[in-house]
Homo-oligomer: A and B are copies of this chain.
Amino acid sequence: MAISIRHLASVAVCLQCLRVPAQGGRLLVVPVDGSHWLSMRILVQELHARGHHIVVVFPENNLVIHRAPEYSSKTFRTAYSKQHVRDIYRSLIRFPFINGTFFERFSENLRLIQKFSDFFLITCEGLLRDSELLRELAEGEFDALFTDPFSPCGSIVAAHLSLPSVFLLRGVPCGLDYEAAQCPRPLSYVPRHFTGNADRMSFSQRVHNVLGLVMESVVCHVTYSRFDELAARFLQKEVTVKELLSRGAIWLLRFDFVFEYPRPLMPNMILVGGMNCKDRKPLPEELEEFMNSSGEYGAVIFSLGSMVSDVPIETADQIAEALGQIPQKVLWRHTGVKPSTLAPNTKLMKWMPQNDLLRHPKTRAFISHGGMHGIYEAICAGVPMVLVPLFADQLENVLRIKNQNAGILIDLKNMSSRDLVEALNTVINDTRYKENMMRLSSLHKDQPVKPLDLSVHWVEFVMKHKGAEHLRPAAHELNWIQYNCLDVIGFLLAIVLVSFYLMIKCCTVCYRCLGRTKKQEKKKSD
Interface residues of chain A, those whose CB is within 8 Å of chain B, are: 1, 3-4, 6-7, 9-11, 13-15, 17-18, 183-184, 186-189, 199-200, 203, 206-207, 210, 257-258, 261-268, 296-298, 327, 364, 428-429, 431-432, 434-435, 438-439, 442-443, 446, 448-449, 453-454, 457-458, 461, 464-465, 470-475, 477-478, 482-485, 487-489, 491-492
Contact = CB atoms under 8 A, between A and B. Distances in A.
Contact of A482 (B1, B183, B188, B491): B188
Nearest to A495: B207
Looking at A4, A264, A443, which has the most chain B CB atoms within 10 Å of its CB?
A264
B492 A207 contact: yes
Contact of A435 (B14, B446, B470): B14
A445 to B, nearest CB: 11
A429 B262 contact: no
A188 B477 CA distance: 10
A9 B188 contact: no
A198 to B, nearest CB: 8
A3 B485 contact: no
A491 B443 CA distance: 40
A488 to B, nearest CB: 5
Given A18-B439, A184-B184, A263-B473, 16 more contacts: A3-B296, A13-B431, A14-B438, A184-B186, A187-B488, A189-B473, A189-B483, A200-B474, A206-B487, A207-B492, A210-B488, A257-B267, A262-B474, A264-B264, A265-B266, A443-B470
B264 A472 contact: no
A87 B298 CA distance: 72
10 tightest A-B contacts by CB?
A10-B431, A199-B474, A4-B296, A262-B473, A189-B474, A14-B438, A448-B457, A184-B184, A264-B264, A14-B435
A161 B203 CA distance: 35
A14 B485 CA distance: 50
A300 to B, nearest CB: 13
B262 A264 contact: no
A36 to B, nearest CB: 24
Given A439-B14, A474-B200, A492-B207, A4 B297 contact: yes
A18 B187 CA distance: 34
B485 A187 contact: yes
28 contacts: A3-B297, A7-B298, A7-B364, A7-B428, A7-B431, A7-B434, A10-B431, A10-B435, A11-B438, A13-B435, A15-B438, A184-B186, A187-B485, A187-B488, A188-B483, A188-B484, A200-B474, A206-B487, A207-B492, A210-B485, A210-B489, A257-B471, A261-B474, A262-B268, A263-B473, A264-B264, A448-B448, A449-B449
A449 B14 CA distance: 24
A446 B473 contact: no
B477 A429 contact: no
Contacts of A489: 210
Contact of A184 (B258, B264, B458): B264
